[in-house]
Amino acid sequence: MRLSAIWIPLLILCQATPLWSHGGIEEDPVSRLLELHDHVMNASNDTESRIAHEALKDGMRQAWNGTDFWACDWPSLAKRMGVITAGDGGQSIAVITWNIELQNRTQEYGGFVLAKDRNGDPLVIELSHRLGHSNRQELDTKKRFKADTWPGAVYYSIVPQTQGKKLVFTLLGWDGADGIRSRKVVETLSIQNGKLRFGVPIIDLGHGSEKRMVLEYADGVTAMLRWREDLRMIVMDHLSAPEPQLQGNTSFYGPDMTYDALVWQKNHWVLKENVEIRDPDMKKPWNNPKRSRRRN
């Protein structure tokens, strides 16, 4: 009975065509999308979470296939979920991502990429989260993913770079992983012929090119990963185990008060270890998405 009580109003809500039209006049869809996101945040079990998650996806599809994102109040949306933008005109891009946390504290993600094709027409690409076969999905640093096999994250920063004549994007994101570990992710993205590719081999960690970088650490701590415009580098906490016998067990890892950085050199991000960074705001973390069910 509870499932029916939830499903019917959400189904009706999602099938309104469009959700934000009134008398044939399109309205800003952001307020409706925020309402749908409220359902995600207020869900009390996994069934409710997934139903609300699908409703939000439907709302996003309707919104961006019928409304100009850039003409909307998207900064309000950015206060509630991951919304990052870069570029302007024909090279503008927006990436919208969000998460739901299940009762076992694993995550599922939703997302959309909004850009323009070579003719300048709007390009709306839905990201389909590729669920792992276990509760502890690993992020392969050498694998490429498409929009329908997206590994999932909530992205909070975007850095565009030119690699030769090709435009590539570096995304900084958060992955809740599970109740034991959390992750920060340096993801790479390119768009060619209207198709997305996650995993561009432009990260040099000293042992060949990687397609992404993953910082994995104890769930109860906070790790910093951010783009420093003034330094033109991606800076991050160096993570380590508190005891030698815990080396390799990332569920115990945390910041050790030193910093590493990725610096753009010769069309690649190159890792620089133990860098000197002085900034009074350096310790200000990016706030992870609200978790409705903490069991610390």
Taking the chain (296 residues) in runs of 10, the rounded mean pLDDT of each run is: 36 41 60 97 97 98 92 94 89 95 94 89 93 64 95 97 90 94 97 92 92 96 96 96 95 96 96 82 53 37
* Cβ neighbours for 223, distance < 8 A, ≥ 6 positions apart: 182, 184, 215, 217, 236, 237, 239, 254, 255, 285
What pLDDT is attached to residue 281? 55
Q: Specify if 128 maps to a domain.
A: no
What pLDDT is attached to residue 254? 97
Q: Specify if 169 maps to a domain.
A: no
Going by C-alpha positions, the residue among 103, 102, 92 that lies closest to residue 152 is: 102
What pLDDT is attached to residue 131? 75
Q: Specify if 66 maps to a domain.
A: yes
Q: Specify if 217 maps to a domain.
A: no
Domain that holds residue 10: 1-80
Token couple for 37: 């996101």
Q: How many domains does the chain have?
A: 1
* Cβ neighbours for 42, distance < 8 A, ≥ 6 positions apart: 52
Q: Specify if 157 maps to a domain.
A: no
Q: Specify if 46 maps to a domain.
A: yes
Residue 39 φ then ψ, to 5°:
-60, -40
